[in-house]
A and B are shown apart, each in its own frame.
Chain A
Amino acid sequence: MTVDTQPAIVGTTAVGTPRHHVLIFAVLLGLMLIAPFVLYPVFLMKVLCFALFASALNLLLGFGGLLSFGHAAYFGAAAYVSAHAAKVWGLTPELSILLGTSAAAVLGLAIGALAIRRQGIYFAMVTLAFAQMVYFFSVQAPFTGGEDGIQAVPRGNLFGLIDLANDRTFYFVVLGIAAAGMLAIYRIIHSPFGQVLKAIRENEPRSTSLGYKVNRYKLAVFVMSAAIAGLAGATKALVFQLASLTDVHWSMSGEVVLMTLLGGMGTIFGPLVGAAVIVTMQNYFAGFGAWVTVLQGVIFVISVLLFREGIVGVISRWIKKPL
């Protein structure tokens, strides 16, 4: 699959870490360290979780060329598993999140193994259909609480020591998780594995003829993406002390695609910007009911018709540097 409007992807050819990337990461991290003293920490945690979720999707879509329209399945399944682990089994938060992430990885392995048998838009449809299967499972399974979801999940004590009930304390933990996830994605993209992914995205038959086991690479990146999406979902469940059907519904999958598209597919910082914009919009327009959906639809249409590079993609073109 070729995604032909993305000059920003050129950045992945550079081996080693460009200096301006280090600088941007440092500035972002600095800003995020100050942010909870200025803005509401729960809102910021939501932004961080969705930024990580969108980055996970972008790893698959922007760098692997695979459009998954069912990423809510991993996000939501991880949320349920970690919420259940924390509430019913009484596990510590780090173990609950780890368990949720692993569950998402296993689910990603099972669905990915089947989905990579089809390409392009079929792939998108298959991932969407499987995600719907996870949704129906979540409606009916005995431990998910049906329509109510799993509520009042305890945040617990990190490593049994640090009390996470305080929003600001928990914020720094979430920041650590999101930063670690982002760096992991950055390392994956800039590794030899990432170079092979790029080759597969650009020309799959040629990569096959060069001797790469194309499907193994695709499956590997699918599982990584699912696991990181799960990490985001598990963290989100503990932040909001809630795992519900919203997390697994297909509109969530659409939302995360929108974040990636708006920020800039195939850019490193795009998903962060996209997530921040969409989450902010949802927070401020929450009172307008279904108009938020309409507005998201309008943004989708405008992004596709006029603005395919996304916000960061456009900036990247202006300053002629991969972001």
Chain B
Amino acid sequence: MDNKILVGGLVVAIIIAILAPFLASSNPDGLESTAEKVINEEALHKNLQALGLEEEGTVAPSPMPDYSIEGMGKVGEVIAMIVGTLIMVALAYGVAIVLKKPSSN
């Protein structure tokens, strides 16, 4: 197994994770920007009511919403990104190990 590529990829990902909170644009993304301009408030209100939500988001609470930790500012954002990257690599590695085709030896 070529673990060099895993370590290399993880190092690059962690560097991005540390820099992202400082470099990321805080502007809304393409979908949010579109929504600001065109959303049908009446339809949105009806859908939110059906789900019992106050505003759009998610029906299940997340531990680190918007890649941040409450009250921890930029440090919390860096921690959230690093934690997320580690969860991601562990999940992807685990799923890939479980699902890979049986070795042919």
Same assembly: no
Q: Which residues of B are in contact with A by a Cβ distance under 8 Å? A: none
